[in-house]
Structure 1
């Protein structure tokens, strides 16, 4: 690296190296706008679905962060749905109590846990100045009918106190099958509260989508409020002579397309966020030691980064999942 450019902190402390960062994608932006609409209309619930590794959980983290900027005092919560052989209301309400930050999440009887949960939410919402709050349920395809009923009890009790609970079920496409099954079995109390709206969360579908994400690396800064965008942090000399990741969008899309075609996949290319981000992280890490004035990332570097991200292996798994889904729907 050029001697005249010294990073303000060690490279291994950067969020990209630690994988503790978020850049926006078109699907994340769509999720954010949809959630804001649900809040505006006070719609009680909706589904956000996609296949694994497409960035749903990543998107939820980003949307929660931006919503906190829009509504600084609003109550915005999340919990991960757990897969267990038998469902326990005791464990379920402990999980929700942990989500609302209650110190006694594991203590007391089930009725006491229910009461503490409702009281804690009412307390938080009262402080917020709003009459609503948002709850994200991640991996929601794991929820059973009985858990929806327990969640409905919470929803209805809060409704009686004038509080609107807006629930976002985030999970895999099985959520749509569950919604159809609930309709057929006349479980309308579940559909009407938690499954009114639907949003499919997509991967990256074009070079323009990649450009949106790559621009995030050119704009996000570390340390925060410094003059060190992520791209400059890894490639300070190249950055000083005009290098920007956003200009690599076409080359990176071509590299993903070549990997997709070489593997013989017949369906259209859709890049899961995890493998896009991992490819960028690998390319930046590999290029940091080569940085100099006029340095540019080569197509071969992108090709190697995509290979090391295990993108093709993930696509093979996805192909099997899609085939299983189609067979189940036939």
Structure 2
């Protein structure tokens, strides 16, 4: 048996256990490259879309984090678009004020809230040293035309003050239908500001995609700047003799493909990020107690993790959506 390893933090406090970590995927990296291009060209807006559970919100968090490294003083905001029965201008501007960090987000009438939002953004942008800022709208397919008009008012007022607002609409494929409807309805003022660029956010499509993500578990460390990678934390003995998750890419891919084929799905396999990360978390957490110098994650263990992460159920839901589309 392996000797006892003293982990640097309690097991339950690790980011993988708490699900508070980010693994960059090829789509997330592409998302970041696309956002940097929009900044460089000062493009006012774009659409990033995918089906549910493909990692869009995850991607926003990652891109916001990395943007802060490349542009330390840049203003990068985000807000979640809310499902509602009736549009409320008051509630909408409270939401934007909260995203901007204004302490008075819930006070004042609509006119005052509009003024406070513009002033707050100008204050943040002036402090940043740039003449632009980015705002992500998550689940943007929930936005109605009147809310786009309110957002356009903010965009135009800031433009008059010399600030470029770059709006990234992140949501489901319904966003493309909205764009088409706006074009047909000659709502060019919305399309030209918020929907110029398009990017489809993909799941994991090849073993190489999985390898890229798995390698992050081998390289990311917690505590930061320690030598305790995520993989080492859960399997320290196996890690000490060369075990690395990156070498598991083909085996894990085969487990997903086997599940996909057993369910008789006809669409091309594409693994949503949520189910990939969940399968890895299950494999690490449930096998940590069996760590040893010769430990291996067998195909059976990966098949069990894929089954437990509910990948097949999610794919069935996706199949139904694809049929409707």
- Sort the TM-score into its range (normalised by shorter chain): over 0.9
User: 1:116 matched to which residue of 2?
Assistant: 116
TM-score (norm 2): 0.99
Using the TM superposition, give the Cα deviation of residue 2 of structure 1 relative to its aligned residue in structure 2, in angstroms. 2.3
User: 2:209 matched to which residue of 1?
Assistant: 209
Using the TM superposition, give the Cα deviation of residue 294 of structure 1 relative to its aligned residue in structure 2, in angstroms. 1.6
CA distance in 1, matches of 2:225, 2:2: 24
User: 1:77 matched to which residue of 2?
Assistant: 77
Q: Secondary structure at the match of 1:135?
A: strand
User: 2:231 matched to which residue of 1?
Assistant: 231
CA distance in 1, matches of 2:158, 2:314: 42
Deviations 1:229-256 (A, max 9, x none): 0000000000000000000000000000
Q: Secondary structure at the match of 2:209?
A: helix
Deviations 1:153-176 (A, max 9, x none): 000000000000000000000000
CA distance in 2, matches of 1:100, 1:4: 48
Query: Any residues of structure 2 matched to 1:101-180 within 5 Å, and which?
Result: 101-180=101-180
Q: Secondary structure at the match of 1:166?
A: strand
Using the TM superposition, give the Cα deviation of residue 3 of structure 1 relative to its aligned residue in structure 2, in angstroms. 2.4
CA distance in 1, matches of 2:45, 2:21: 28
CA distance in 2, matches of 1:96, 1:69: 24
User: 1:277 matched to which residue of 2?
Assistant: 277
User: 1:5 matched to which residue of 2?
Assistant: 5
Using the TM superposition, give the Cα deviation of residue 28 of structure 1 relative to its aligned residue in structure 2, in angstroms. 0.1
Using the TM superposition, give the Cα deviation of residue 87 of structure 1 relative to its aligned residue in structure 2, in angstroms. 0.0
Using the TM superposition, give the Cα deviation of residue 9 of structure 1 relative to its aligned residue in structure 2, in angstroms. 1.2
Deviations 1:212-238 (A, max 9, x none): 000000010001110100000000000
Q: Which ranges in structure 1 are unaligned for 5 or more consecutive residues?
A: 326-330
Deviations 1:26-77 (A, max 9, x none): 0000000000000000000000000000000001100100000000000000
User: 1:264 matched to which residue of 2?
Assistant: 264
User: 1:194 matched to which residue of 2?
Assistant: 194
CA distance in 1, matches of 2:171, 2:9: 37
CA distance in 1, matches of 2:293, 2:42: 53
User: 1:251 matched to which residue of 2?
Assistant: 251
CA distance in 2, matches of 1:214, 1:72: 28
User: 1:328 matched to which residue of 2?
Assistant: none
Worse-matched range after superposition: 146-155 or 287-296: 287-296
User: 1:293 matched to which residue of 2?
Assistant: 293
CA distance in 1, matches of 2:2, 2:233: 13
Using the TM superposition, give the Cα deviation of residue 4 of structure 1 relative to its aligned residue in structure 2, in angstroms. 4.0
Aligned pair 1:39/2:39, yes or no?
A: yes
CA distance in 2, matches of 1:186, 1:84: 25
Deviations 1:294-329 (A, max 9, x none): 21111111000011100000000010111111xxxx
CA distance in 2, matches of 1:158, 1:2: 62
Deviations 1:270-297 (A, max 9, x none): 0000000000000001110000102111
CA distance in 1, matches of 2:200, 2:94: 30
CA distance in 2, matches of 1:190, 1:235: 52
Q: Once superposed, which parts of structure 1, at least 4 consecutive aligned residues long, lie more than 3 Å away?
A: none
User: 2:321 matched to which residue of 1?
Assistant: 321
CA distance in 2, matches of 1:98, 1:298: 48
CA distance in 1, matches of 2:198, 2:137: 14
The RMSD of aligned alpha carbons is: 0.6
User: 1:27 matched to which residue of 2?
Assistant: 27
Q: Secondary structure at the match of 2:290?
A: coil
Q: Which ranges in structure 2 are unaligned for 5 or more consecutive residues?
A: none
